[in-house]
Structure 1
Amino acid sequence: MKQTKKWAFSFIALLVLGLVSCTKNSAVNNLSNADTRIYITQRDSTVNFSNYKTFSINDSVTVINNGQSSKSLTPTGQAFIDAISKYMQQAGYTLVSNTSNPDLGINVTYINTTTTGIIDYTDYYDLYSGYYDPTFWGYGGYGYYSPYIYGVYQINSGALSIDMLDLKNAAANGKIKIIWNGLIRGEGIADATTADSQVQALFSQSPYIKAN
């Protein structure tokens, strides 16, 4: 009798574990693209964003695909550029051309890779500096500088990176400083229909980005 109870208990325990496992696997497999996305923002804590009034956005997106870089402007890229412009203006900044001495510059990068790695900003702008020509911002010969290093991107996930550049103080600093970065990683990022909501998520967790 005791042996029978023991086997019955073991069977029930295995059944429960199996159901839990199936439930977990089912939940993971049924995640929507939006559920897989992670939004990471970083700022230079020494910067007062209200000291800047105007901005300009690079007119194309840099695509880094398994270490190979190119510039492009697809409908999806344009959707992200439009969304960034929208939320920057809602924050009180004025959009101007890159030739009008903007206080802030914005670069957009889409990263796609089949390996797991870290976006190291000391290498990021060195390796791909040809695609971020400071001449575009009117500071030919200047280098880029970031006060922080981070960024994990995942196998088969891709990532979208938005860099905010301090052009107002570039001449005084002798370099173009990255004062804010927003990184999105997950599935289905390159989607024009969700570009607005993705950019909104980054700005929502960066309430300090205000012109006044």
Structure 2
Amino acid sequence: MKITQLITAGITGLTLLIAGCTKEPINQLSAEESRIYTSSYDSTIHFSDYKTFSIADSVTVIDNSGNAKTLTASDAAYIDAVKKYMIQRGYVQVANDQTPDIGININRIYQTATGLVDYTDYYGNYGGYFDPYYWGYGGYGYYVPYNYGIYQITEGLVSIDMFDLKNAATKGKINLMWNGLARGTGIFNSSNADAGVQTLFSQSPYLTTVQ
């Protein structure tokens, strides 16, 4: 299996935004600019050989504690958008008991990470922060009564997975043939689902068939 990946983002680079007393103002990204869309596919597959698809009627929520099925307005919007663009590409939707060529799952994934900030590094070298001269205390140094601060970040993303059901019986396994990921501000807003899925499909011109 050969995997090919494409990424679309609202910005050309990554910017670290640190709240507080930075020397230079940094313009914060808009919600749209923060969204990143990544698609990957098995380049050994001829997508035109596949004619039908079925999509799960709910979304799996995966987090550090496990997973569960759900169907929010946002979930339904993603399901509808995937159906729409699959049909536009020539695929026919069938029920999951009608032997579809492609099976599609949509997941909401939440990953929580905990880390440490070393204040001695930031304030010891000043870094991007104002040095003591700014406050009129030249020659003084910063004193931080604690060395580390603990932070916790939860990142959410939407994952759309397409599986090869057509060849599952002959190969004895269900291969992932295409994956689309969306992350950033507002991806769980139902009004952004269609545009997000459209972006992923725009990255994937090979994802098409003729009946």
Normalized against structure 1, the TM-score is what? Answer: 0.68
In the TM superposition, residue 75 of structure 1 has moved relative to its aligned partner by 1.3
The 3-state SS of whatever aligns with 2:155 is: coil
Aligned residue for 1:195?
193
- Whichever residue aligns with residue 203 of structure 1, its letter is F
Pairing of 1:103-142 with structure 2 (within 5 A): 103-115=101-113
- The CA distance in 2 between the partners of 1:105 and 1:93, in whole Å, is 12
In the TM superposition, residue 65 of structure 1 has moved relative to its aligned partner by 2.4
Aligned residue for 1:71?
69
- The CA distance in 2 between the partners of 1:71 and 1:53, in whole Å, is 27
Pairing of 1:140-151 with structure 2 (within 5 A): none
Aligned residue for 1:102?
100
- The CA distance in 2 between the partners of 1:209 and 1:85, in whole Å, is 13
RMSD: 1.7
Aligned residue for 1:163?
161
Aligned to 2:170, which of 169, 172, 197? 172
Aligned residue for 1:84?
82
- The CA distance in 2 between the partners of 1:99 and 1:33, in whole Å, is 40
Contact 2:37 2:182 in 1 (8 A): yes
In the TM superposition, residue 32 of structure 1 has moved relative to its aligned partner by 2.0
Aligned to 2:36, which of 35, 38, 45? 38
- The CA distance in 2 between the partners of 1:196 and 1:66, in whole Å, is 27
**Identity of matched residues, %:** 53
Aligned to 2:54, which of 53, 56, 60? 56
Contact 2:186 2:192 in 1 (8 A): no
- The CA distance in 2 between the partners of 1:110 and 1:167, in whole Å, is 22
In the TM superposition, residue 99 of structure 1 has moved relative to its aligned partner by 0.7
Aligned length: 152
- The CA distance in 2 between the partners of 1:46 and 1:82, in whole Å, is 28
- The CA distance in 2 between the partners of 1:33 and 1:63, in whole Å, is 23
- The CA distance in 2 between the partners of 1:47 and 1:67, in whole Å, is 35
- The CA distance in 2 between the partners of 1:155 and 1:100, in whole Å, is 42
In the TM superposition, residue 155 of structure 1 has moved relative to its aligned partner by 3.7
In the TM superposition, residue 87 of structure 1 has moved relative to its aligned partner by 0.2
The 3-state SS of whatever aligns with 1:189 is: coil
Contact 1:158 1:187 in 2 (8 A): no
Structure 1 runs of 4+ with >6 Å offset: none
- The CA distance in 1 between the partners of 2:207 and 2:37, in whole Å, is 16
Contact 1:67 1:113 in 2 (8 A): no
Write out per-residue CA displacement over residues 134-176 of structure 1, whole angstroms, 9 at most, x where no aligned residue: xxxxxxxxxxxxxxxxxxxx94331110000000000001011
In the TM superposition, residue 185 of structure 1 has moved relative to its aligned partner by 1.3
- The CA distance in 1 between the partners of 2:153 and 2:78, in whole Å, is 22
Aligned residue for 2:118?
none
Write out per-residue CA displacement over residues 87-143 of structure 1, whole angstroms, 9 at most, x where no aligned residue: 000000001110111000000000112228xxxxxxxxxxxxxxxxxxxxxxxxxxx
- Whichever residue aligns with residue 42 of structure 1, its letter is S
* Higher-strand-fraction structure: 2
Contact 1:157 1:187 in 2 (8 A): no
